[in-house]
Amino acid sequence: MNLQTDGTYDKVYGDVGPGTNKFRQYWAEFNLDLGGANLVYIPAFRTWTSSALNYSRVPAIGLAVDQDISTPKDEFMTHELRLASQQGGKLKWQIGALYYQNDLRSIVKATDGYSGALLYNSDVAKKTTAAGVFGEATYALADTTRLNAGLRYDYTKVAVDQTYTANLNLCCGGPLGSTTYGYPEILQTQTLSGQEGKRTYRNVTYKVRLEHDLSPRNLLYALTSSGFSPGDLSVTTGRTGAPTAVEFKTETLTSYEVGSKNRFFGNRLQVNGSAFYYVYGGYQVGNINISDIIGLTAFTAISAPARAYGGEPGNLLPANAARSHRNKLELHQGVFRRQARTSGSRQHQDLRLLFFAQGHSERHPLPDSGQLRSRHRPVGWVEHHAAWRCSVPEQLLLGPTQAEPGGRRAGRRAHGIAIRRGRYRNMAVAR
């Protein structure tokens, strides 16, 4: 898909390269009744390997890129330990600790599709370790009112060992689309290792939820929680074509939500609704091409505050004990704001999104479902989704930094932007 000057997209069809993904996952759950409390330990281990060959073609300018991407090693190991109170009583609590480790090796080699000249080659070995502790409690203020609060602390360490090679002769060799493009190769290599490739992040997140029963089948709730995504570090092609390091700071998220959950007609009809407001701190995008040279992609990262808000009305109508259908209509509106400072004055750019989503899913009970468990609880059904339809009218409001000469504003359209819900580590639990 290529963006045209009139705001539309031109479809370009090309070859699809082969690719394989393989993964294995092992986990266990141990439960111990201590009398006044329950102790739970959950270890898990997952392996992932992949390889793919991607072809990118833009015939209008003679651009052709072949990417050989492989992940020979991507291993995850987690340990979670929880101590929780028994059911019953006004106060319910749990405390716990967790450990996470990811050992990754990733290799990406890009060559020109016509000449075969090297564009760049990246070989990354990255190890991420994280440890956290948390506590959560629910207290019954009254028979129909409950307050839930939680706090969590996380420590994350990222160690990157990367070798990145770029071809500096992409602007001065043969033209794009020729067999001499990128030749003779002038290669420059940059490494990132040791203390230079290490970063540590410390984050505190919280959750507070108040809920009230209007009746045994009607619930109102209000929730606020925070989350984060740790930063990262990588080497990529810079604006001059030489390798350069790009760092991602920690992204943060604070969410606010109010809603209601209801059942009617003897539990045959369930109607839920909620409204949410998300505040992103340092919403980051890393695929911004800042190169002035046609055919040279030089990426950087931008960080901007952002807001997203919307509502989710939904309903669940069980047809019978053996099968249930779920139809859902969602309304979302999001605002992403990018700010820039020029000559001491602050300017901004807003992207507003309003979209509806409608879908259908079904749940089918499993025989002897008590013998099958997911990572945290028994599995009682298999669920599949079908025919999600989405209509997204968009409007991009451009600030002064995006105005064309003479003050005329440029009109553009943006597609494929999604509000990433649930991406952050936080105190939120399934409602």
Contact 110, 121 (CB under 8 A): yes
Tokens representing 228?
């984060």
CA-derived radius of gyration, the chain: 26
User: How many CB atoms sit inside 10 A of residue 226's CB?
Assistant: 22
Tokens, residue 420: 């990433």
The angle subtended at Cα 188 by Cα 184 and Cα 194, nearest 5°, is 160
Nearest Cα to Cα of residue 78 among 32, 126, 37, 29: 29
**Is cis: bond before 43, omega within 30 of 0?**
no
Instruction: Match 């989710």 to its residue by tokens.
Output: 312
CB 335 within 8 Å of CB 306: yes
Contacts of 278 (CB under 8 A, 6+ apart): 253, 254, 255, 256, 306, 307, 308, 309, 419, 421
CA-based nearest residue to 135, from 112, 153, 109, 156: 153
Rounded CA separation 48/125 (Å)? 14
Task: Kindly list the domain boundaries of the chain, sorted by start residue.
Answer: 13-426
Mean pLDDT (whole number) for 5-19: 76
**Are the C-beta atoms of 73 and 104 separated by less than 8 Å?**
yes
Exposed, middle or buried: residue 229 (CB in 10 Å: 0-12, 13-18, 19+)? buried
Segment 330-356 shows an average pLDDT of 45
Residue 415, both tokens: 């597609």
Average pLDDT over residues 175-182: 91
pLDDT value of position 390:
35
Q: Does CATH place domain 13-426 in 2.40.170?
A: yes
Q: Which position has the token pair 């190890």?
A: 127
Average pLDDT in the chain: 75
With CA atoms as reference, report the closest residue to 275 among 219, 316, 355, 330: 330
Question: Rounded to an integer, what distance in angstroms lies between the CA atom of residue 361 and that of residue 387?
Answer: 9
Q: Please state which of the ranges 128-137, 200-209, 368-377 shows the lowest mean pLDDT.
A: 368-377
Please report which confidence band the pLDDT of residue 174 belongs to, taking 50, 70 and 90 as the band edges.
confident
pLDDT > 70: what percent of the chain? Answer: 66
Q: CB of 54 within 8 A of CB of 23? A: no
**DSSP 3-state of 429:** coil
Q: What is the chain's length? A: 431
SS3 195: helix
Q: Which amino acid is at 316?
A: L
- The values of phi and psi at residue 151, to 5°, are -140, 145
Per residue in 50-108, pLDDT (tens digit) is: 999 999 888 878 889 999 999 999 999 999 999 999 988 899 999 999 999 999 999 99
What pLDDT band is residue 344 in, cutting at 50, 70 and 90? very low
Write out the DSSP string of 294-313.
TT---EEEEEEEEEEEEE--
Structure tokens at 328: 């859902």
The residue-averaged pLDDT of 358-377 equals 39
